[in-house]
Chain A
Amino acid sequence: DAKTTQPPSMDCAEGRAANLPCNHSTISGNEYVYWYRQIHSQGPQYIIHGLKNNETNEMASLIITEDRKSSTLILPHATLRDTAVYYCISSDNYGQNFVFGPGTRLSVLP
């Protein structure tokens, strides 16, 4: 079973920020939080990952709570092309042992 829980679906208006939550209450000290997204009929695309500090790259920002039991992926200005299933995964520091849950289906609406 996946070690994370996410809402099954979310909507976001185009141009607005999309905030996708993830709970990982049983995360251990050496486990990272990874975010991927999957557009229909493609392989998962890596977005971002972090351990305890907030992270930002050209795609998104990752906010991890101080107790590390939850995190939020932020797409600052969602576009229609961001419509996808977003997966939050906690894994050891070797980036292996990924267990995919059902993810969150994000629909960006015009």
Chain B
Amino acid sequence: GAVVSQHPSWVICKSGTSVKIECRSLDFQATTMFWYRQFPKQSLMLMATSNEGSKATYEQGVEKDKFLINHASLTLSTLTVTSAHPEDSSFYICSAHGQLSNQPQHFGDGTRLSIL
């Protein structure tokens, strides 16, 4: 099946630093990638949708200047949490969707971000 790799799986950093998370589709070309956030005991919430070569579309309430998304190729998207603060601590999950319609999204294994 389709494989999506997310890196790092776990990161701890100090408040005020920036953290970059990578999402790669390993065996298919992802025209669209999605970034979700999941707080403890809650469901996934979509943060933004990115199409290769164009600007990401952010969901209401998600600060685009804080969560920078780059989707420069058909196999790689990155999410950078800028000037992270403790309230940004969460489980961040990416997914990728290929070029064919009615195919499912395939998810990475997530990145647990802890800001001290």
Contacts and interface: CB of A to CB of B under 8 A. Distances in A.
Contacts of A36: 104, 107
A49 B44 CA distance: 19
Interface in A32-75: 32, 34, 36, 41-46, 49, 51
Contact of B44 (A44, A93, A95, A96): A44
Given A42-B110, A49-B104, A96 B32 contact: yes
> Range of interface residues on chain B?
20 to 34
B109 A96 contact: no
B71 interface: no
B97 A95 contact: yes
B43 A103 contact: yes
A contact patch SS: loop
A94 B108 contact: no
A103 B42 CA distance: 10
Nearest to B91: A41
A80 interface: no
Contacts of B110: 41-43
B103 to A, nearest CB: 5
